[in-house]
Amino acid sequence: MLYRLRDAGFQAFLVGGAVRDLLLGLHPKDFDIATNAHPDEVKGLFRNCRLIGRRFHLAHVRFGYEIIEVATFRAAHTPIDEDNSVDEGGHRVLDERGRILRDNLYGTIEEDVWRRDFTANALYYNIEDFSVWDYVGGVEDARQRILRMIGDPETRYREDPVRMLRAVRFAAKLDFTIHADTAAPIPKLAWMLDGVPPARLFDEVNKVFLAGSAYAAFELLERLQLLEHLFPDLSSALEDVPPGGSARELVRLGLQGTDERVRAEKSVTPTFLFAVLMWPAIQRAYAKHAPAADGDPQQLLAACDLVTARQQARVAIPKRFTLPLRELIGLQPRFERREGRRALRLLNHPRFRAAYDFLLLRAAAGEADAELAQWWTDIQAASADERVERVESLGPGPRTAAAGAAEGPRRRRRRRRRRPPAAS
């Protein structure tokens, strides 16, 4: 890849996270390449190449499952004119708050380095002689585990507020300290996240929380006052919760559990992650709107819908995650009802496993009954006969009780009609 660009007469460097990770002795997650070839020239060299991005033109070159991102050197930091935010060629466009809308003025490597975010992310590895080109002291910062913004931090956050989240992500993931000057403007500029498209925030939030250091990232987000702009309802639900309070414990244990899974290379899904991050707010909404409806699944689902809708305004969580999330939440009250064979049907629910994991989490946080969680653990290990024995020993259950029997068939029909086809 690098060689083909070079043989065609272009400069080509490995850049960004891969160089940084190799320097730190970590496995790079992906490879980014910087070159002086223009995107259409890159396309001319590689058949399996797609040009992407409007705000920022890039070439994606596919090698099997790997996608290598090839970016053309960008020109030096264009001074932001007070009255004229469009540069000569019209390539770099900023809005009235200094935010970059488009950045496609090509330049040289000496210019490219200044538009990168952190010093440790601005190292260029040259395949010609295996040297690292470091214009900004990135090698030394990486060695000292310091995350330092290139240029004036406030200006750089105004250009692209997502850099505040990137600071949190890299500090948490790499166990770096954010340099004091780099951290200082963040609380003051955190509000600028409100102007970032919710779909981009979803991508970034996912990266922040699924990089193996979710809990460290969460603490940083809270400390830098970013959390209230990403998860306003979570932030206010946790406001009066003391350290060790069950809502905080649930978030802590949930995120630490996610981190363990990521580190063990097990699968993690945004569904469970967002259930953890939304549960304290769902519980609060539930308690507020249905103080008397203890254990009423419909009221809990209404609270879930309310919190989800509000959350979508900040972080656009796709339906393929919010729908299973809703099911996972809706099953929680059903764990309370252990009597009768109806309880056993829960074991076959397609969302049982995730809902049960969430019950365990609630129990570990001290919010759900530990004995209840244990009962559901035990019943899974029991044989079919034992299972029936156990639920029947607890009583007849609502279905066969007088009132339940009268209601049973009607409820059943209604549920069947509502069930979407091929739900899984």
Residues with catalytic function = 30, 32, 117
Contact (CB, 8 A) for 258 and 273: yes
User: How far apart are CB 17 and Mg ion at their closest, in Å?
Assistant: 4
Residue from the set 29, 97, 288, 414 that interacts with ligand ATP by CB under 6 A: 29
Contact between 117 and ligand ATP (CB under 6 A)? yes
Contact between 32 and ligand ATP (CB under 6 A)? yes
Measured CA distances, 98 to 8, 86, 158 (Å): 37, 11, 6
Q: Using CA atoms in the order 80, 83, 87, 89, what is the torsion angle rounded to 10 degrees?
A: 180
Interacting residue ranges for Mg ion, rule: CB under 5 A: 17, 30, 32
Give the residue from 141, 154, 186, 155 showing the smallest Cα distance to 168.
186
How many CB atoms within 10 Å of residue 139?
16
| Residue 407 amino acid letter | E
Contact between 148 and ligand ATP (CB under 6 A)? no
Distance between CA atoms of residues 15 and 76, nearest Å = 17
Strand residues in 16-135 grouped as ranges (E): 32-35, 49-52, 58-63, 66-72, 92-94, 100-103, 123-126, 131-134
Selection from ligand ATP, Mg ion, none that 117 binds (CB < 5 to 8 A by kind) is ligand ATP
Distance between CA atoms of residues 20 and 33, nearest Å = 13
Selection from Mg ion, ligand ATP, none that 150 binds (CB < 5 to 8 A by kind) is none
Complex with ligand ATP: residue 116 or 351, whichever CB lies closer: 116
User: How far apart are CB 389 and ligand ATP at their closest, in Å?
Assistant: 52
Of 115-123, 140-148, 264-272, 301-309, the window that binds ligand ATP (rule: CB under 6 A) is: 115-123
Structure tokens at 302: 């209404």
Selection from Mg ion, ligand ATP, none that 247 binds (CB < 5 to 8 A by kind) is none
User: How far apart are CB 411 and ligand ATP at their closest, in Å?
Assistant: 49
User: How far apart are CB 383 and Mg ion at their closest, in Å?
Assistant: 50
User: How far apart are CB 159 and ligand ATP at their closest, in Å?
Assistant: 8
Residue from the set 2, 12, 13, 16 that interacts with ligand ATP by CB under 6 A: 16
Of 6-14, 28-36, 85-93, 323-331, the window that binds ligand ATP (rule: CB under 6 A) is: 28-36
Q: What is the arrangement of strands in the sheet containing 12-15, beginning at the earlier edge strand? A: 49-52, 58-63, 66-72, 32-35, 12-15, 123-126, 131-134
Binding residues for ligand ATP (CB under 6 A): 16-17, 29-30, 32, 116-117, 121-122, 160, 162-163
